[in-house]
Structure 1
Amino acid sequence: MSLDIGYGDVGASRARRGQRNHLAGSSAEEAVERHYLEAGHVALARRWRGKGGEIDLVFGDGFGGFVFVEVKTARDFDSALARITPRQVARIHRAAEEFLADCPAGRDSDTRFDAALVDGRGRIEIMEGALLGY
Protein backbone atom coordinates (compact mmCIF):
# COMPACT_ATOMS: atom_id res chain seq x y z
CA MET A 1 0.00 0.00 0.00
CA SER A 2 1.30 3.42 -0.96
CA LEU A 3 0.33 6.63 0.73
CA ASP A 4 0.51 9.82 -1.32
CA ILE A 5 0.78 12.78 1.02
CA GLY A 6 1.08 15.41 -1.69
CA TYR A 7 4.84 15.87 -1.84
CA GLY A 8 5.45 13.89 -5.03
CA ASP A 9 5.94 16.93 -7.23
CA VAL A 10 8.31 18.82 -4.91
CA GLY A 11 11.39 17.44 -6.66
CA ALA A 12 9.93 18.19 -10.09
CA SER A 13 9.04 21.71 -8.99
CA ARG A 14 12.57 22.25 -7.69
CA ALA A 15 14.00 20.94 -10.98
CA ARG A 16 11.80 23.34 -12.99
CA ARG A 17 12.87 26.25 -10.78
CA GLY A 18 16.52 25.26 -11.18
CA GLN A 19 16.16 25.05 -14.97
CA ARG A 20 14.41 28.45 -15.05
CA ASN A 21 17.18 30.00 -12.94
CA HIS A 22 19.85 28.45 -15.16
CA LEU A 23 18.20 29.86 -18.30
CA ALA A 24 17.78 33.28 -16.69
CA GLY A 25 21.45 33.27 -15.69
CA SER A 26 22.54 32.27 -19.20
CA SER A 27 20.37 34.99 -20.70
CA ALA A 28 21.83 37.57 -18.31
CA GLU A 29 25.38 36.47 -19.18
CA GLU A 30 24.63 36.82 -22.90
CA ALA A 31 23.25 40.33 -22.38
CA VAL A 32 26.26 41.35 -20.28
CA GLU A 33 28.62 39.86 -22.85
CA ARG A 34 26.97 41.95 -25.60
CA HIS A 35 27.36 45.03 -23.41
CA TYR A 36 31.12 44.47 -23.03
CA LEU A 37 31.57 43.64 -26.73
CA GLU A 38 29.78 46.84 -27.71
CA ALA A 39 32.16 48.73 -25.41
CA GLY A 40 35.14 47.33 -27.37
CA HIS A 41 36.20 44.40 -25.19
CA VAL A 42 37.22 41.05 -26.64
CA ALA A 43 35.46 37.94 -25.34
CA LEU A 44 38.01 35.39 -24.14
CA ALA A 45 35.98 32.92 -22.06
CA ARG A 46 32.53 32.20 -20.77
CA ARG A 47 32.04 30.18 -17.59
CA TRP A 48 35.76 29.51 -17.39
CA ARG A 49 36.40 26.86 -14.75
CA GLY A 50 39.64 26.21 -12.97
CA LYS A 51 40.53 24.37 -9.78
CA GLY A 52 39.87 27.55 -7.82
CA GLY A 53 36.36 28.11 -9.14
CA GLU A 54 34.41 29.51 -12.05
CA ILE A 55 34.47 32.92 -13.69
CA ASP A 56 31.30 33.92 -15.53
CA LEU A 57 32.96 36.04 -18.24
CA VAL A 58 36.53 36.95 -19.14
CA PHE A 59 37.37 39.75 -21.57
CA GLY A 60 40.46 41.35 -23.01
CA ASP A 61 40.35 45.09 -22.43
CA GLY A 62 41.99 45.95 -25.76
CA PHE A 63 45.19 47.12 -24.07
CA GLY A 64 46.67 43.79 -22.99
CA GLY A 65 44.72 43.57 -19.74
CA PHE A 66 41.91 41.34 -18.57
CA VAL A 67 38.46 41.94 -17.14
CA PHE A 68 36.92 39.21 -15.00
CA VAL A 69 33.17 39.57 -14.61
CA GLU A 70 30.75 38.06 -12.11
CA VAL A 71 27.14 38.27 -13.35
CA LYS A 72 24.33 38.35 -10.79
CA THR A 73 20.59 38.58 -11.39
CA ALA A 74 17.80 39.51 -9.01
CA ARG A 75 14.62 41.57 -8.97
CA ASP A 76 16.68 44.74 -8.34
CA PHE A 77 20.34 45.78 -8.44
CA ASP A 78 20.76 45.91 -4.65
CA SER A 79 19.50 42.34 -4.28
CA ALA A 80 21.80 41.17 -7.07
CA LEU A 81 24.81 42.83 -5.44
CA ALA A 82 23.92 41.28 -2.08
CA ARG A 83 24.28 37.84 -3.66
CA ILE A 84 28.03 38.34 -4.10
CA THR A 85 29.79 37.09 -0.99
CA PRO A 86 33.38 37.67 0.14
CA ARG A 87 33.98 33.91 -0.14
CA GLN A 88 32.79 33.96 -3.75
CA VAL A 89 35.05 36.91 -4.57
CA ALA A 90 38.01 35.01 -3.12
CA ARG A 91 37.18 32.03 -5.37
CA ILE A 92 36.97 34.32 -8.41
CA HIS A 93 40.39 35.75 -7.61
CA ARG A 94 41.89 32.25 -7.22
CA ALA A 95 40.37 31.20 -10.54
CA ALA A 96 41.69 34.37 -12.19
CA GLU A 97 45.20 33.54 -10.98
CA GLU A 98 44.87 30.15 -12.67
CA PHE A 99 43.62 31.79 -15.86
CA LEU A 100 46.50 34.27 -15.88
CA ALA A 101 49.09 31.53 -15.37
CA ASP A 102 48.78 30.68 -19.08
CA CYS A 103 49.05 34.30 -20.25
CA PRO A 104 52.34 35.92 -21.37
CA ALA A 105 52.57 38.39 -18.46
CA GLY A 106 51.00 35.93 -16.01
CA ARG A 107 49.98 37.44 -12.69
CA ASP A 108 51.67 40.70 -13.69
CA SER A 109 48.88 41.29 -16.22
CA ASP A 110 46.62 44.29 -15.72
CA THR A 111 43.35 43.01 -14.31
CA ARG A 112 39.98 44.33 -13.27
CA PHE A 113 37.20 42.49 -11.43
CA ASP A 114 33.72 43.72 -12.27
CA ALA A 115 30.26 42.95 -10.94
CA ALA A 116 27.60 42.96 -13.66
CA LEU A 117 24.14 43.22 -12.15
CA VAL A 118 20.97 42.42 -14.08
CA ASP A 119 17.59 43.35 -12.62
CA GLY A 120 14.20 41.75 -13.20
CA ARG A 121 13.52 44.06 -16.13
CA GLY A 122 16.73 43.07 -17.91
CA ARG A 123 18.56 46.30 -17.19
CA ILE A 124 22.33 46.01 -16.67
CA GLU A 125 24.52 47.88 -14.21
CA ILE A 126 28.28 47.38 -14.45
CA MET A 127 30.30 48.05 -11.33
CA GLU A 128 33.90 48.28 -12.56
CA GLY A 129 36.44 47.08 -10.05
CA ALA A 130 33.73 46.23 -7.51
CA LEU A 131 35.16 42.83 -6.60
CA LEU A 132 38.33 44.11 -4.96
CA GLY A 133 36.90 45.55 -1.77
CA TYR A 134 36.39 42.29 0.11
Structure 2
Amino acid sequence: MTAAAPRQRLTSHRRGLGGERLAALLLMVKGYRIVSRRYAALGGEIDLVAKRGRTIAFVEVKARRDLDDARVAITPDKRRRLARAARHWLSHNPWAVGMTLRFDAVFVAPRRLPRHLANVASLATD
Protein backbone atom coordinates (compact mmCIF):
# COMPACT_ATOMS: atom_id res chain seq x y z
CA MET A 1 0.00 0.00 0.00
CA THR A 2 1.36 3.41 -0.91
CA ALA A 3 1.37 6.42 1.37
CA ALA A 4 -1.27 8.02 -0.84
CA ALA A 5 -3.76 5.14 -0.43
CA PRO A 6 -5.05 6.08 3.07
CA ARG A 7 -5.40 9.70 1.95
CA GLN A 8 -7.34 8.64 -1.16
CA ARG A 9 -9.60 6.41 0.97
CA LEU A 10 -10.31 9.31 3.34
CA THR A 11 -11.08 11.62 0.41
CA SER A 12 -13.47 9.03 -1.06
CA HIS A 13 -15.14 8.53 2.31
CA ARG A 14 -15.66 12.29 2.74
CA ARG A 15 -17.04 12.57 -0.81
CA GLY A 16 -19.46 9.75 -0.02
CA LEU A 17 -20.67 11.38 3.20
CA GLY A 18 -21.15 14.69 1.39
CA GLY A 19 -23.10 12.87 -1.31
CA GLU A 20 -25.31 11.25 1.33
CA ARG A 21 -26.05 14.64 2.91
CA LEU A 22 -26.92 16.10 -0.49
CA ALA A 23 -29.10 13.08 -1.34
CA ALA A 24 -30.93 13.34 2.00
CA LEU A 25 -31.57 17.03 1.37
CA LEU A 26 -32.90 16.30 -2.13
CA LEU A 27 -35.24 13.60 -0.80
CA MET A 28 -36.51 15.86 2.00
CA VAL A 29 -37.25 18.60 -0.54
CA LYS A 30 -39.25 15.97 -2.47
CA GLY A 31 -41.32 15.21 0.65
CA TYR A 32 -39.47 12.20 2.09
CA ARG A 33 -38.61 11.78 5.74
CA ILE A 34 -35.22 10.18 6.42
CA VAL A 35 -35.85 7.23 8.77
CA SER A 36 -32.32 5.83 8.91
CA ARG A 37 -28.82 6.64 7.68
CA ARG A 38 -26.01 4.18 6.96
CA TYR A 39 -27.89 1.10 8.19
CA ALA A 40 -25.41 -1.79 8.13
CA ALA A 41 -26.33 -5.47 8.51
CA LEU A 42 -25.41 -8.87 7.07
CA GLY A 43 -22.54 -7.57 4.96
CA GLY A 44 -24.55 -4.80 3.34
CA GLU A 45 -25.23 -1.16 4.02
CA ILE A 46 -28.21 0.99 3.13
CA ASP A 47 -27.14 4.59 2.77
CA LEU A 48 -30.59 6.07 3.48
CA VAL A 49 -34.00 4.70 4.38
CA ALA A 50 -36.64 7.25 3.44
CA LYS A 51 -40.41 7.32 3.91
CA ARG A 52 -43.02 9.24 1.97
CA GLY A 53 -46.65 8.39 2.53
CA ARG A 54 -46.99 4.59 2.44
CA THR A 55 -43.68 4.07 0.61
CA ILE A 56 -40.36 3.06 2.12
CA ALA A 57 -37.37 3.66 -0.15
CA PHE A 58 -34.05 1.97 0.54
CA VAL A 59 -31.70 4.46 -1.09
CA GLU A 60 -28.24 3.80 -2.47
CA VAL A 61 -26.21 6.97 -2.93
CA LYS A 62 -23.38 6.99 -5.45
CA ALA A 63 -21.05 9.98 -5.58
CA ARG A 64 -18.69 9.88 -8.54
CA ARG A 65 -16.86 12.29 -10.83
CA ASP A 66 -19.75 12.10 -13.31
CA LEU A 67 -23.30 10.79 -13.23
CA ASP A 68 -22.68 7.98 -15.73
CA ASP A 69 -19.94 6.53 -13.51
CA ALA A 70 -22.34 6.70 -10.57
CA ARG A 71 -25.07 4.77 -12.43
CA VAL A 72 -22.89 1.79 -13.29
CA ALA A 73 -21.56 1.52 -9.72
CA ILE A 74 -24.65 -0.40 -8.53
CA THR A 75 -23.58 -3.91 -9.48
CA PRO A 76 -25.63 -7.12 -9.13
CA ASP A 77 -23.52 -8.07 -6.09
CA LYS A 78 -24.25 -4.67 -4.51
CA ARG A 79 -27.98 -5.22 -5.16
CA ARG A 80 -27.87 -8.60 -3.39
CA ARG A 81 -26.16 -7.06 -0.34
CA LEU A 82 -28.71 -4.22 -0.33
CA ALA A 83 -31.59 -6.71 -0.46
CA ARG A 84 -30.20 -8.67 2.51
CA ALA A 85 -29.70 -5.48 4.53
CA ALA A 86 -33.20 -4.26 3.63
CA ARG A 87 -34.80 -7.51 4.77
CA HIS A 88 -32.84 -7.24 8.02
CA TRP A 89 -34.00 -3.64 8.48
CA LEU A 90 -37.61 -4.74 7.89
CA SER A 91 -37.29 -7.51 10.48
CA HIS A 92 -36.38 -4.82 13.03
CA ASN A 93 -39.02 -2.34 11.84
CA PRO A 94 -42.24 -4.35 11.51
CA TRP A 95 -44.32 -1.17 11.20
CA ALA A 96 -43.02 -0.86 7.61
CA VAL A 97 -43.86 -4.37 6.38
CA GLY A 98 -47.28 -3.47 4.93
CA MET A 99 -45.95 -0.48 2.99
CA THR A 100 -44.76 -0.22 -0.58
CA LEU A 101 -41.07 -1.11 -0.55
CA ARG A 102 -38.57 -0.19 -3.22
CA PHE A 103 -34.91 0.46 -3.94
CA ASP A 104 -34.05 3.94 -5.13
CA ALA A 105 -30.74 5.51 -6.08
CA VAL A 106 -29.44 9.04 -5.90
CA PHE A 107 -26.49 9.83 -8.14
CA VAL A 108 -24.26 12.74 -7.19
CA ALA A 109 -21.49 14.40 -9.21
CA PRO A 110 -19.63 17.69 -8.80
CA ARG A 111 -21.28 20.74 -10.33
CA ARG A 112 -24.36 18.73 -11.31
CA LEU A 113 -27.79 18.49 -9.71
CA PRO A 114 -28.20 15.13 -7.98
CA ARG A 115 -30.42 12.67 -9.80
CA HIS A 116 -33.00 10.53 -7.96
CA LEU A 117 -34.15 7.34 -9.67
CA ALA A 118 -36.98 5.37 -8.09
CA ASN A 119 -37.30 1.59 -8.11
CA VAL A 120 -33.86 0.68 -9.52
CA ALA A 121 -33.77 -2.88 -8.11
CA SER A 122 -35.97 -5.55 -6.56
CA LEU A 123 -36.10 -6.49 -2.88
CA ALA A 124 -36.04 -10.17 -3.96
CA THR A 125 -32.50 -9.90 -5.37
CA ASP A 126 -31.00 -12.72 -3.31
TM-score after normalising by structure 1: 0.83
Does the 8 Å CA contact 1:28/1:122 hold for their aligned counterparts? Answer: no
Q: Could you list the per-position Cα deviations for residues 37-96 of structure 1 after superposition, in whole angstroms to 9, with x for gaps in the alignment? A: 1111111111001124110000111x2331110011122211111111011011101110
Residue number in structure 2 paired with 1:3: none
- 2:16 corresponds to 1:19: no
Larger proportion of strand: 2
- 2:104 corresponds to 1:79: no
For 1:18-37, list aligned pairs within 5 A: 18-37=9-28
- The share of aligned pairs that are identical, in percent, is 32
Greater relative contact order (CA < 8 Å, ≥ 6 in sequence) = 2
Bigger Cα Rg: 1
Equivalent pairs, count: 124
- 2:117 corresponds to 1:127: yes
Give 1:11's aligned amino acid. T
Structure 1 unaligned blocks of 5 or more: 1-9
Does the 8 Å CA contact 2:107/2:114 hold for their aligned counterparts? Answer: yes
Give 2:51's aligned amino acid. G
Residue number in structure 1 paired with 2:34: 43
- Distance in 2 (alpha carbons) for counterparts of 1:100 and 1:114: 16
Q: Describe the shift of the 1:14–1:122 C-alpha distance in structure 2 as closer, same or farther (beyond 3 A).
A: farther
Tell me the SS of whatever aligns to 1:54. Answer: strand
Residue number in structure 2 paired with 1:97: 87
